[in-house]
A = this chain, B = another copy of it.
Amino acid sequence: MRVRFEVLQGEFERVLIKKGLTAELARVNATLFAQNSLDGIYSHGLNRFPRVMDYIDKGYIQVNAVAERDDGFGALERWNGNMGMGPSNARRCMGRAVELAGQYGIGCVALHHTNHWMRGGAYGLHAADLGCVGICMTNTSPNMPAWGGLDNRIGNNPFIVAIPRADGLHFMLDMAVSQYAYGTVEKAMRDGKMLPVPGGYDKDGNITSDPKLLWESRRVLPVGFWKGSCMSMVFDLLAAGLSNGNTVQDIGKIGTEIACSQLFIAISPAKCGDPGFMRQITDSTIEHIKASTPESEGGNIYYPNEISYITRADNLENGIPVDEEFWAMVQAM
């Protein structure tokens, strides 16, 4: 079943208003959830929406709280998310980082006590739409072991870098520092498929691509083994340290993935050097990468986030494929 973007967005908006959000906050958050599904990030669009509504019902999320500036010094600011909606808080803080970049060339906003931002790429794209490089990161619950350890003490802390392009199809890295999300592992397990590359260790410490063994062991792999383990920790310390917010360890003590810390950096290439240069080399890099000798005959090489734009175009034309169970849940709310 496929549902038009406007219909999905409208339903989210209706439910959010029913949950008590102001019209403005309902619109911003509904749009972000619907855009995530539109771009093919279903796990952080429709499929996650019911859980977020549950968090509102449980009082984990303060529906009308918005992020506010605690203090700042020049291009660096510290904001309090006040436990409000993660997507609108994150969008506001990246918007503020872009304003600071307009004033200082670069701007940095550290945000504490906010909630899950859903798809981090949404804020990278927001900065890029405003002509800036967008860099952001968030911490999470502890969901991976540190390298050399067995118990989950580090987060898969997503990291985003977006480079603006003239046509709006921005060049964007949007990655968690685990090789796979548990959602991907679960899906492969249900589909009875092996993961395309090793995703972690089984209970006996053997590296494996078998999602069933990973689901049992809960030992998913950081990207690049010890390297991703270190990435996870520095991203946590950057976001929590600069915002004076919760670390992954603190979120683990809460026991639910709420009250996170995030960092937003925007850089304005127009403020320094040739403003067209970055766009030109981005296009030239895309062309160069795509001209690689493909691994398999006729194979395509995609630039970062390209597949999401292909999905977006398809979903705009043909409607967004929805998981009927989740869609029915939202319609019944």
Q: Which residues of A contact B (CB under 8 A)?
A: 70-78, 103-108, 110, 133, 145-151, 153-154, 161, 163, 171-173, 175, 177, 179, 197-198, 205, 207, 223-225, 227-228, 230-231, 233-238, 240-244, 247-249, 265, 267-269, 271-274, 277-278, 281-282, 284-285, 288-289, 292-295, 299-304
Contact = CB atoms under 8 A, between A and B. Distances in A.
Say what secondary structure dominates the interface of chain A: mixed
A203 to B, nearest CB: 12
Contact of A148 (B106, B230, B292): B292
Given A75-B104, A281-B237, A293 B179 contact: no
A233 B285 contact: yes
Number of copies of this protein chain within its complex = 2
B163 A278 contact: no
Contact of A227 (B103, B151, B207, B223): B223
A242 B272 contact: yes
A241 B224 contact: no
B163 A237 contact: yes
19 contacts: A72-B105, A72-B272, A73-B105, A74-B75, A75-B106, A106-B108, A146-B301, A149-B289, A149-B293, A161-B234, A175-B227, A175-B230, A223-B224, A233-B285, A237-B278, A237-B282, A243-B273, A249-B284, A249-B288
A179 B224 contact: yes
A53 to B, nearest CB: 31
A149 to B, nearest CB: 3
A142 B105 CA distance: 30
Given A76-B106, A149-B289, A289-B149, A234 B173 contact: yes
A160 to B, nearest CB: 9
Contacts of A197: 207, 225
A216 to B, nearest CB: 17
A104 B73 CA distance: 6
Contacts of A150: 292-295
Contacts of A238: 133, 161, 163
Given A76-B267, A153-B289, 4 more contacts: A75-B105, A150-B293, A151-B292, A205-B295
Nearest to A133: B238
A237 B76 contact: no
Given A237-B285, A294-B149, A73 B231 contact: no
A78 B150 CA distance: 45
Contacts of A249: 284-285, 288
A182 B163 CA distance: 29
A197 B89 CA distance: 40
A110 B269 CA distance: 11
B108 A285 contact: no
A115 B108 CA distance: 29
A162 to B, nearest CB: 8
Give me the 6 closest cross-chain CB pairs, A-B, nearest first.
Answer: A76-B105, A223-B224, A149-B292, A241-B278, A74-B104, A73-B271
A284 to B, nearest CB: 7
A166 to B, nearest CB: 13
A212 to B, nearest CB: 21
